[in-house]
């Protein structure tokens, strides 16, 4: 249960941690101000990855810019060293309170300066792409949400991952976990966040990327445009003989289901 609850609360812990980092940067730049002063902006790109044991952890790129819409250098007071110190302090100290206890970051934490890398833009893109396209077990079993408990029990993969998904599914029956909507996220072992998220100013918006791809595909289309009209002609089969065949096959299917042995049902199997 603890693993599922960690996954369910990890995104909230990240959001609160980011808020805390921004506040400490603001306090360093302008002591006495509660909100971020206009002199800097902290942007991020985050990829969630699941370990083999089913626990989510994050790969994050943070970028410190100056204020305003343009990409300006940050104030001189906010150095890379200062940002690193603040991040380490917050990650090591910060936690959030949930109805089920305190949630904090674990000891597996690594921080490096990406600006010191050669062609840091390509290295960062390659690094994050590696984890964004990684499957936890090499299959597509957990690539989409489940509609019934039997969808989980029928999986042939890892028994540990299957149990995590079942735990998330079953916890949804408990009143204290109802608002967490764990059944919708059982395939992600309770994780309720997106696999890839970024702040608005980190880079080009996803909406703009989709529009650019659509425009490119429209230009690449070599076929002649076709215009036409769809008219509803009816539904079902268009001749009596086909109707009779379909009804007969349907009857055979029903008879086969009636004569098949019924498996022993377990409590809550199709909750």
pLDDT digits (tens, 9 = 90+) for 11-70: 999 999 999 999 999 888 877 655 555 688 899 989 898 888 899 999 999 999 887 776
pLDDT digits (tens, 9 = 90+) for 159-175: 999 999 999 999 999 99
CA atoms 111, 114, 115, 118: torsion sign: positive
Residue 154 in this model has a pLDDT that exceeds 70: yes
How far apart are alpha carbons 267 and 186 in whole angstroms?
19
CA-closest candidate to residue 99, choices 184, 19, 179 = 179
pLDDT digits (tens, 9 = 90+) for 101-120: 899 999 999 998 887 766 66
> Which pLDDT band, with edges at 50, 70 and 90, does 271 fall under?
very low
Entry pTM: 0.72
Mean pLDDT in the chain?
A: 83
Residue 5 in this model has a pLDDT that exceeds 90: yes
> Which pLDDT band, with edges at 50, 70 and 90, does 270 fall under?
very low
Residue 226 in this model has a pLDDT that exceeds 70: no
pLDDT attached to residue 92: 95
Instruction: Report the pLDDT averaged over residues 88-92.
Output: 96
How far apart are alpha carbons 147 and 150 in whole angstroms?
8
Beta-strand (E) ranges in the chain? 40-50, 56-66, 95-98, 101-104, 196-198
How far apart are alpha carbons 222 and 147 in whole angstroms?
41
Q: Which two tokens stand for residue 109?
A: 């934490």
pLDDT attached to residue 181: 92
CB 13 within 8 A of CB 103: yes
pLDDT digits (tens, 9 = 90+) for 192-219: 998 888 888 888 777 888 888 888 888 8
Query: Among residues of the chain, what percentage have pLDDT more than 70?
Result: 81
């Amino acid at each position: 249960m603890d693993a599922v609850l960690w996954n369910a609360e990890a995104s909230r812990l990240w959001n609160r941690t980011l808020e805390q980092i921004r506040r400490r940067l603001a306090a360093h730049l302008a002591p006495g101000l509660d909100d971020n002063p206009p002199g800097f902006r902290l942007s991020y790109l985050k990829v969630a990855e699941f370990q083999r044991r089913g626990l989510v952890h994050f790969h994050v790129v943070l970028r410190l810019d100056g204020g305003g819409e343009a990409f300006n250098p940050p104030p001189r007071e906010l150095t890379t060293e200062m940002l690193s110190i603040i991040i380490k302090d917050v990650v090591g100290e910060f936690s959030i309170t949930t109805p089920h206890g305190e949630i904090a970051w674990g000891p597996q934490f690594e921080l490096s300066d990406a600006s010191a890398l050669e062609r840091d833009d390509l290295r960062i893109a390659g690094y994050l792409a590696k984890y964004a396209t990684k499957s936890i077990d090499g299959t597509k079993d957990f690539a989409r949400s489940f509609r019934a408990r039997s969808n989980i029990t029928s999986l042939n993969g890892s028994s540990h991952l299957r149990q995590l998904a079942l735990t998330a599914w079953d916890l949804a029956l408990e009143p204290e976990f109802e608002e967490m909507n764990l059944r919708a996220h059982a395939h992600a072992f309770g994780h309720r966040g997106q696999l890839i998220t970024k702040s608005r100013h980190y880079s080009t918006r996803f909406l703009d990327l989709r529009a650019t791809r659509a425009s490119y595909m429209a230009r690449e289309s070599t076929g002649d445009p076709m215009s036409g009209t769809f008219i509803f002609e009816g539904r079902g089969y268009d001749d009596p003989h086909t109707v009779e065949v379909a009804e007969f096959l349907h009857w055979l299917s029903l008879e086969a289901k009636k004569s098949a042995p019924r498996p022993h049902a377990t409590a809550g199997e199709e909750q």
